[in-house]
Structure 1
Amino acid sequence: MMKEETKEPQYQTCVEIKNKVGLQSLGLMTNQVYYDDPRRLTFLLSRYKFVSKIMSGKDQVAELGCGDAFGTRVVQQEVGSVTAYDFDPVFVEDIKQRQVSKWALEAHVHNILDGPLPRGRYNGVYSLDVMEHIIPEQEHLYLQHIAQSLEDDGVFVVGMPSIESQEYASPPSKAGHVNCKTGKDLKKVLEKYYENVFIFSMNDEVVHTGFLPMAHYIIGLCCGPKRDKK
């Protein structure tokens, strides 16, 4: 068999890693995204990059609503550990089937509406593209249980499509969206649970502090969970 060698030696590592651990696969959800609309992967990874820098240096971090956890490695690069949670066993099983030792990830099935995260409090929790799927009548359970899952000095990052974006969203993108908000409304509800809330705009892969009504995606950065919230 002919030896597989690249023309330039610095790229031979690509072949060596493929032969050692195989080709890394997309997750169950990102496989669909890459097939239908590849550019969306750039948006997804940009959100994880933002979270990774906010959480940088944290010892124990949790991701709530991880889906296939394709972007979670970006956060793992910056923190001590990430524990992933999703309410759908299909996605959690997909994560477990794609495990590699370098990026070992603890993943569990949990519905945040039923109670706080079951493995104690975390220094940071992030939840991307989850809140918009929770009906307004139950969002207090989502926010209350996350706040209860944080240490007193913990940080929470939440991201969702803006209500303004839904006019332009594709049917697959907005399927199940029952609770999108304006940036102003997201800040208002988060302030019920946190002492400090900062809202960021996002358009495509760029996170910024621009005019919220023109944002396609909005991100809330929350510090200081209020312990007297009922």
Structure 2
Amino acid sequence: MTSRTTMLPSQVHFWDRWHVRRGATGEDPLHRELRQRFLELMPAGERVSVADLGCGQGHDAVAFAAAGHTVTAIDFSPVSVEQVRRRAEQVHRSVAALCHNLAEPLPFAAGSMHGVYAHLSLHYFDDATTRLVFTEIWRVLVAGGVLVFSVKSTDDPYFGTGDEVGPNMYCRNGHLRHFFSREYLESLLVDWKQEDVRHCRGRYASHEPSAFFHVVARKPE
């Protein structure tokens, strides 16, 4: 591990290349589990508005649309957003896909979302930006709305590898990650009703083992 103060490589460029060269199937067991958990928490038989933050190639967004919900999927990778649109068109599902950086205010009105979902998309920012992201999620959720997300944990094998760029933040092979401890999660969710904080181990889009937190939190009524 080495310290680094120079400019970080472009993460948009990194993810554009990743989506072209690799991508994800959306069928990793832990990924399916998180997606299903979110769907189970949405009102049964009711069409509600949900947001998929850092939507990747749209596997989750399309599944939410197939369940009858109004879906807005956002990602800062133009390649990703185009792939989401094509995937939705191929299965005749309506998904609004927007190119947007989560470090900026979310493009939704206050109280406009019944659910917010973020699979491995909230662990790329420094502490100040991360807290702003969670503040924005709180703003756009209705009272009683649900946030379901996953993040890399400090038990992950990649924790501590690459260039150290901030507290619990490392850039390895051009890929920036902020690894979360349970204590850090608790500090982010202090005002939320925490329904489940689960530590998981498995694989995602790789043969390498990983460690994650899967979290279900609710904005109080």
TM-score (norm 1): 0.67
Deviation at 1:118, TM superposition (A): 2.8
**CA 1:49/1:39 → structure 2, altered by over 3 Å: closer, same or farther?**
closer
Deviation at 1:39, TM superposition (A): 10
Query: For 1:140-151, what aligned pairs fall within 5 Å after superposition?
Result: 140-151=131-142
Higher relative contact order (CA 8 A, sep 6+): 2
In 2, Cα distance between equivalents of 1:166 and 1:40: 22
1:189 match: 188
Does 2:31 correspond to 1:32? no
In 1, Cα distance between equivalents of 2:57 and 2:76: 12
Query: For 1:155-166, what aligned pairs fall within 5 Å after superposition?
Result: 155-166=146-157
In 2, Cα distance between equivalents of 1:71 and 1:65: 10
Q: CA RMSD in A?
A: 3.3
Identity percentage over the alignment? 18
Deviation at 1:83, TM superposition (A): 1.3
More helix per residue: 1 or 2?
Answer: 1
1:209 match: none
2:103 match: 113
2:215 match: 220
Q: Deviations over 1:132-151 (max 9, x none)?
A: 11122311111111111111
**CA 1:188/1:144 → structure 2, altered by over 3 Å: closer, same or farther?**
same
1:175 match: 175
Opposite residue 112 of structure 1, the aligned amino acid is: L
In 1, Cα distance between equivalents of 2:75 and 2:95: 13
**CA 1:153/1:168 → structure 2, altered by over 3 Å: closer, same or farther?**
closer
Opposite residue 175 of structure 2, the aligned amino acid is: A
Contact persistence 2:57–2:83 (CA under 8 A) = yes
In 2, Cα distance between equivalents of 1:173 and 1:52: 34
Q: 1:136 aligns with which of 103, 109, 127?
A: 127
In 2, Cα distance between equivalents of 1:74 and 1:153: 22
Does 2:37 correspond to 1:50? yes
In 2, Cα distance between equivalents of 1:39 and 1:95: 12
**CA 1:195/1:45 → structure 2, altered by over 3 Å: closer, same or farther?**
closer
**CA 1:174/1:118 → structure 2, altered by over 3 Å: closer, same or farther?**
same
- List alignment gaps of at least 5 residues for structure 2: 1-17, 163-171, 204-209
More strand per residue: 1 or 2?
Answer: 2
2:51 match: 62
- List alignment gaps of at least 5 residues for structure 1: 1-27, 206-214
In 2, Cα distance between equivalents of 1:139 and 1:65: 14
In 1, Cα distance between equivalents of 2:41 and 2:121: 19
- Give the number of equivalent residue pairs: 185
TM-score (norm 2): 0.69
| 3-state SS in 1 of match to 2:183 | helix
**CA 1:100/1:49 → structure 2, altered by over 3 Å: closer, same or farther?**
same
In 2, Cα distance between equivalents of 1:49 and 1:55: 10
